Chain A
């Protein structure tokens, strides 16, 4: 089991009020699953994503990633897990504006303490995989939205993480570019990666092979998606 979540609670203190963002979540995710986590705003999906991404720790409960208990880890240990096991893709891309594409992709390897030449080579390789081999020296503001998101995907892949965690990855893109990005995730998944999509859009969630619906801090529904939405350019088996 790659991810094992038991009785997960996350409580925020807002003024005098307790907000139960997560109120007892159980979930298992296997290696090489393609999961969409859905739900309206306030459902707790963002909180769940933050905890899955090791940006936040639960108030109560257990989160095991590759048999490591994340819930009790220190800040430094969490940083190391984020560095080695998680690849983030954000809605707003979150690239460093002053750095070129190559440097942005290199960044996780910098914090992994990798040597300069090896880092360069790995970042070049990752950019080639997402089809940006000829845009390495461009800064984010010299790239289109789709290209920026592909830089971000290359950055998420470069450390060969256990989980690719995508938070509304098409939210800032037009639908055609969004399809491009979904194709990229499809390919990443097919290459053996575990992909977790967090979204409130039904269309996007339907690309995944399993859909988890959140409501009021709990898992409302969790079932496989037998008819995944076809992506242009990617043959869907069984469809």
Chain B
């Protein structure tokens, strides 16, 4: 009925006393801002994780020496395990019936040179055939590494677009030799750009055949074997087969823990959910406390307002306002008050998330659900903490209210 009037009164009050309004709404602002900021981060991370990590590794799992290490003790134990070797990879390729692909992988970092230009600490991938699927990379120019390259331990490589650009600029890199560490490798392909993941470039690498890698860079040292199952349903079967084969090759008795690690995208997902879940709990705690304090302050201000305006309430009642008109007027006022705090919080929290997203590798996305949640929370605070003062106002006796000095 007189919604516009009530909103106008509330906003007029906010404007008339900016410092008091700011202090009044600080709790609500902080509560909403922290929720918006964290939800924005988690939303951004979620989008990232689903887009990048999961798509790339669909139905893929890895067998390696370590698995997912969460503590120093676990590392010490895992470090004493036997290395995963090319023979293990061959055995898995031969034995895992539900695998469509088994790829041996090795990682290193080397300086890369071409005609006096140097790129330091470039990711060096040793890869068996089929790596394009597991690494989710496509060729822009030239060709992929072949099984023949691998078997012959040829000094050939495929490079990422960032390496191509930095070392070759306008020049076509295909057919040129680059120096990786202290070995020459002929470039046979350049991959398509993939962009960044968690702030790390995915285009700054040199991939060589895994057997070349073993020969030139790492005669000893453990491999990772990437295995892709035939389809989603056979993923657990393929894992079980891989486990059986590895246990047999390690001569493990039943009951002994695996002397190797099996990691799936699920493993990362669980870790990820554990981290973000913890973040959520902390945020909800902070937000709940801020909103509680903010709500009490709003309630206090509204009680003051009801007392200050007792006479106004009496006048309105004399002129025909029903109790519920007075109730809704004060509820609209407290809600307008807290909602304006909520909107400031949304802007602040969203701004913070976007700022951090812009200057750090952490991704952030201001999502509609987060904004709606902020609006809903601040509205809730206004209605909940505004109801007691509003009920007090509505219950006033018109005669006494009119007489109030």
**Using a CB–CB distance below 8 Å, which chain A residues touch chain B?**
50, 53, 55-56, 75-76, 79-80, 82-84, 88, 90, 94-96, 98, 107-108, 110-113, 155, 159
Contact = CB atoms under 8 A, between A and B. Distances in A.
Interface stretch (B68-76, B153-161, B205-213, B318-326): B318-326
Interface string B7-50: 00100100000000000000000000000000000000000000
B318 A82 contact: yes
B325 A94 contact: no
A75 B323 contact: yes
Contacts of A96: 312, 315
Interface in B280-324: 311-312, 314-324
Contact of A110 (B2, B9, B12, B318): B2
17 contacts: A50-B399, A55-B317, A75-B323, A76-B324, A80-B320, A82-B319, A83-B320, A88-B318, A88-B319, A90-B402, A96-B312, A96-B315, A107-B319, A108-B319, A110-B1, A111-B320, A111-B321
Contact of A75 (B1, B12, B312, B322): B322
Given A111-B316, A111-B319, A112-B320, 18 more contacts: A56-B399, A75-B322, A76-B324, A79-B317, A79-B325, A80-B322, A82-B319, A83-B320, A84-B320, A88-B319, A94-B314, A94-B402, A107-B316, A110-B1, A110-B2, A111-B320, A111-B325, A113-B1
B398 interface: yes
**Which of the listed residues B314, B318, B319 has the most CB atoms from chain A within 10 Å of its own CB?**
B319
Contact of A79 (B5, B12, B320): B320
Nearest to B326: A79
Contacts of A84: 320
A96 B315 CA distance: 8
8 smallest beta-carbon distances between A and B, as pairs: A83-B320, A111-B320, A79-B322, A108-B319, A94-B315, A55-B398, A76-B322, A82-B320
Contacts of B2: 110-111
A90 B317 CA distance: 14
Contacts of B324: 76
Contact of A94 (B311, B320, B323): B311
A55 B5 CA distance: 24
B318 A55 contact: yes
Nearest to B402: A94
A196 to B, nearest CB: 15
Nearest to A159: B320
The listed residue with most A CB atoms (<10 A of its CB), out of B314, B320, B325, is B320
Contacts of B312: 96
Given A55-B399, A79-B317, A98 B322 contact: no
A106 B275 CA distance: 59
Nearest to B315: A94
B390 to A, nearest CB: 16
Given A80-B320, A94-B318, A110 B399 contact: no
A108 B398 CA distance: 15
Contacts of A76: 322-324
Nearest to B325: A111
Contacts of B1: 110-111, 113
A76 B398 CA distance: 13
Contacts of B12: 98
Contacts of A90: 402
A56 to B, nearest CB: 6
Interface string B322-363: 111100000000000000000000000000000000000000
A36 B398 CA distance: 23
Nearest to B1: A113
Nearest to A113: B1
Interface string B235-247: 0000000000000
Nearest to A85: B320
Nearest to B5: A110
B325 to A, nearest CB: 6
A124 B402 CA distance: 26
A113 B325 CA distance: 11
B319 to A, nearest CB: 5
A79 B399 CA distance: 13
B369 to A, nearest CB: 36
Contacts of A94: 311, 314-315, 318, 402
